[in-house]
Amino acid sequence: MNTEATKRVREKATCRHCGKSLIGDAYQYGGHAHHPDKGGQVKTCHYGGFVCSVDCDYSTTLKLEGSMPGHNGQVALDFGMRESIRKKWVTP
Ligand SMILES: [Zn+2]
């Protein structure tokens, strides 16, 4: 009996910035993912997608904002967005 073969093949969760493999199904399935090393539930980027660290969160958000119309060449996030990312990653 090969149970691997009977498992439904789903896209796996990965960090939206660095591509790190996470434990869980891909973001579009609507569930949660866990960090393979730290164990805790990974966070999600403001614009969607899993991010494995505060740096990846920041980089993903900046990249997405930079790709929006009128944001060409944006090199930093505004204060409000930086604060919201910082607060999200504060461990209680
Ligand atoms: Zn990452």
Distance 54 CA to ligand 1 centre (A): 8
Distance 6 CA to ligand 1 centre (A): 30
Phi-psi map region of 49: left, alpha, beta (phi>0 left; psi -120 to 50 alpha):
left
CA 52, CA 39: separation in Å to the nearest integer?
A: 11
Distance 43 CA to ligand 1 centre (A): 10
pLDDT in tens, the chain (92 residues): 555 555 567 899 999 999 999 999 999 999 999 999 999 999 999 999 999 999 999 999 999 999 999 888 788 999 999 999 999 999 76
Q: Is residue 30 part of a domain?
A: yes
Q: 35 lies in which domain range?
A: 11-88
Of 83, 88, 81, 42, the C-alpha closest to 62 is 81
Distance 17 CA to ligand 1 centre (A): 5
Distance 60 CA to ligand 1 centre (A): 9
Q: Is residue 48 part of a domain?
A: yes
pTM: 0.84
Q: Is residue 42 part of a domain?
A: yes
